[in-house]
Every structure is written in structure tokens, then in C-alpha cells.
Amino acid sequence: MRVIPDSVRKGIEYIRRGKIVLIYDAEDREGETDFVMPATMMSPRDVAYFRREAGGLICVAIHPLAADKFGLPFITDILRHSPLSGLVEDNGDLLYDKRSSFSLWVNHRDTFTGITDRDRALTIKKIGEAVAQVLNGTSFDFQAYFRTPGHVAILRAADTLLDERQGQTELSVALALLAGIPPAMAICEMLDSETGYAVSKSDAMKYATGHDSVFIEGRDIVAAYGYMTGKN
């Protein structure tokens, strides 16, 4: 009988408590580690911590069903039908995947500039709450509460999640589903200011050990999700 890896079990406990976990995708993908925590629990202090300690782009990964209910497409689908279609990534443009998961960049309508820690925390938290609402069967008028362009990137997970794509977007959403929390996760790449590249896997593991966090391999989330959904 297969069991869920200990790192995933511990990661589930951590995110249920609103704590940060570190997810590493894979050597043959981006080879990056992301900070991950529930969008519904994001505070201004968390945003500040993400930008200081991780340093990458702070995004919100959401379940595809919620994206459908909000009417949020992939940004590439919008651009393909515009005069800027030549900008759209084509087959081979991305060396680590077939496509990116970016949808729209938004601010909550109660924000001012949208970029401050308080503004971004509000936008992220409200996105998480909206995802929880629509997936519980309650309607939500996304356009009434958010505007674009904004300062928080929404990432739309693949329609079949890990069966289709195993990026940070899908891995974080799958971890949320395993934990039984709303599948809207704030994520941010860990960058190395010394090398100018992503933080190495070994350094990310050391960081998790020294900062009361959990380092989770993407392949372990894939295995756990497959086990819990009966696909393994």
C-alpha cells in the first residue's frame, strides 16, 4: 500500500495553519522552489516576507473551475485574438513547458495603488475568498470587486491539473485540495541575489530547515494527489 510522503503530510498540516511551505517543481522543468501559502490567509506581513525572503513574482494560483466561473481565460487566449497575436508564446518558446499559466493581473477595487503590502495582501486574500465562495456554489461577480490592470498576477491551473501540467500552479492547487482548503494559493519564486538565478535546490532545503518550513518535491505532491484521487 502506498503512503503519502512525510513532507506532503507535514506540508498539509502547515498550510492548514496558514504557514509557508516550499515547493520544488522538478529538475527537468523550471528547477525552482516557490514559497506557497493559502491566499485566504495572506497578510501584509506575509507579502513583505515573500518579497524580502523569496524575491520573485507574487502570484495567486487558482483552480480552473473557479477561473471558469470568474470568466478568467489565459492571457495568451486573449492576445491571440488581438493585433498583438505575434507576441504570444509559440511551440518551443518556453524551454520548460508548452505554455504558461498566466491569466489577468488585478487589483481589488478597495485598494489604492495596488502595489503596497497592504493592497496586495487585500487583493490576494479577496481572490482566495472569492474562489472559496464560487466553489461552494455561490455566485460571485468578479468584475464588481476587481479591476485590471493590477499588481497581482492570477495563474489559472490546467483543466485536469497534474494530469496535464505539473508546474508550481498545479502543484500548489493540488496541495490545497489535499489539505481540504480553498484551492487558491499565493506563490513566489525563491531567487538568489548573489548568482542572479533561482535559489538552488540544496539552498532551498537548508532554508526550509532553518526557518520552520517544509520542503516538498513536486513529484511527491504528484504521487500523493494520485494516491488520494485513486489514480495511483
pLDDT in tens, 85-123: 888 887 668 878 878 899 999 999 999 999 999 999 999
Kindly report the average pLDDT of the chain as a whole number: 94
| 146-176 tens-digit pLDDT | 999 999 999 999 999 999 999 999 999 999 9
Q: Enumerate the domain spans of the chain.
A: 6-225
Class of the CATH-defined domain 6-225:
alpha beta
Q: What is the pLDDT of residue 119?
A: 98
Give the percent of the chain with pLDDT over 70: 97
Q: What is the pLDDT of residue 70?
A: 98
Q: Which residues are catalytic?
A: 34, 59, 96, 107, 151, 189
Helix (H, G, I), strand (E, B) or coil at 37: strand
Contacts 24+ apart (CB under 8 A), 75-82: 75/102, 75/103, 75/104, 76/100, 76/102
pTM of the model: 0.95
Please give the angle made by the CA atoms of 137, 143 and 147, to the nearest 5 degrees: 135
Q: Which of 191, 232, 223 is nearest to 11 (CA)?
A: 223
Going from the C-alpha of 172 to that of each of 23, 82, 116, 186, 214, the distances in angstroms are: 8, 31, 24, 9, 13
